[in-house]
Amino acid sequence: MSADQLIARLEQIGTEFQQAIRPLADEQAIRAAQAQLLGKHGRVSEVMKEIPRLPPADRPRVGAAVNRIKTEIEDQVARRLRELADTAARADLARTVDVTLPARPVGGGHLHLLTQVRLEAVQIFAELGFVVAEGPQIETDWHTFEALGTPKDHPARDMQDTFYLSDEIVLRSHTSPVQIRTMQIQAPPIRIVAPGHVFRRDDDTTHSPMFTQLEGLAVDEGIAFTDLKGVLIHFVSRFFARDLTVRFRPSYFPFVEPGAEVDMQCSFCMGASAGCRLCKGTGWLEIGGSGMVDPTVFGHVGIDAERYTGFAFGMGLERMAMLRNGVDNIKFYYEGDLRFLEQF
Ligand code: FA5
């Protein structure tokens, strides 16, 4: 082939390429088309292979044409890519966002039923002038038992058998040690409630090894059993949002005298049905223990028992929520199953 024929072919390649890339709309396809010409076995490379066969005087002309066509092809590629980028940018700018669309709902959590119940209970007592007190869950044997009239050989310990970390340190089995800690640092008048976790060697559908109690203590001059009754009747009516009767059943706790179990009227059958499963046909549900602070307890914390009297009570919060919200197995509270938790 002559030099002129080769140059004509190069020019034809350039023209064809210009038409070939016009409809191409993505970079990958454009680069592939470019490689078909300029690649190792591309059409331009084939022409270059002919150059050594030409008379030496013609070679520079054809070489120059090759360079021109290569540059032209590269310019065309750059131009087409720029056009594509401009079109994409224009389309991007022309996009409109409808800000009037309602936002997608964000899945929010809520407080655990037991936390709700604790906060509600504290709120009701706060309205009566009680403030929240706290104590450690790992407690001394003295605060948990001894100071509450329950020495090491006392049979009442059996009912609250707990986890001993050593002879003198226990996981508290009730919130009553907070009574002792409060009276050790505060002089009467005292009005506290102490919610918190407690631990016992119990395990069935209504008893858990870890559960929550709410302790109450009021100490002042002239506090009487009627004050205790009034406070608890008020609490039960507020918490259950119904006029429910409360009954005090004589009972024994080593740190109160007299002592009483607190029962409330069955919130399910209202005491009317002898066959009610919840109250086992009795019409009453036990919610906690209570009584007047025993003078020997005052002796342990340096409060003058001749001048002051007080009442105390302790309730199980799981029990309160079971009765009010119809939970029939205490384990549901702790399993973290959303099918349960989302109901409350
Ligand atoms: C006490 O714990 C006393 N400290 C209450 C008290 C305080 C009496 C102040 C007098 C003065 P008792 O062992 O009965 O009492 O427990 C109180 C309540 O805790 C029970 O009525 C019950 O509602 C709840 N309870 C007891 N054991 C468990 C358990 N293993 N799981 C869930 N709730 C429990």
How far apart CA 282 and CA 274 sit, in angstroms, is 7
pLDDT of residue 40: 86
Which atom number of ligand 1 is nearest to the Cα of residue 286? 21
Residue nearest to atom 15 of ligand 1 (CA): 289
Which residue is associated with the tokens 């002559």? 2
CB 89 within 8 A of CB 34: no
Distance (Å) from CA 286 to ligand 1 centroid: 10
- 34-61 pLDDT, tens digit per residue, is 998 888 888 888 888 999 999 999 999 9
47-56, 155-164, 184-193, 309-318: range with lowest mean pLDDT: 155-164
Taking residues 152-169, what's their average pLDDT? 89
Taking residues 216-239, what's their average pLDDT? 96
15-19, 209-213, 315-319: range with lowest mean pLDDT: 15-19
Strand partners, 196: 213
What is 23-58 written as a DSSP string?
T--SHHHHHHHHHHHHSTTSHHHHHHHHGGGS-TTT
Ligand 1 and 176: CB distance under 6 A: yes
Which atom number of ligand 1 is nearest to the Cα of residue 175? 4
Ligand 1 and 216: CB distance under 6 A: no
Q: Tokens for 244, please give them.
A: 């429910």
pLDDT of residue 115: 97
- 231-255 pLDDT, tens digit per residue, is 999 999 999 988 888 999 999 999 9
* Strands (E) located in the chain: 131-132, 138-140, 169-171, 190-199, 210-220, 246-251, 256-265, 284-293, 309-316
- 184-201 pLDDT, tens digit per residue, is 999 999 999 999 999 999
- 136-146 pLDDT, tens digit per residue, is 999 999 999 99
CB 279 within 8 A of CB 269: yes
Candidates 137, 116, 122; CA nearest to 211 is: 137
Between β-strands 169-171 and 190-199, what pairing exists: parallel, antiparallel or unpaired?
A: unpaired
Ligand 1 and 174: CB distance under 6 A: yes
What is 172-212 written as a DSSP string?
-SSSTHHHHHHHHH-PSSEEEEEEEEEE-S--SSS--SEEE
Ligand 1 and 286: CB distance under 6 A: yes
pLDDT of residue 209: 95
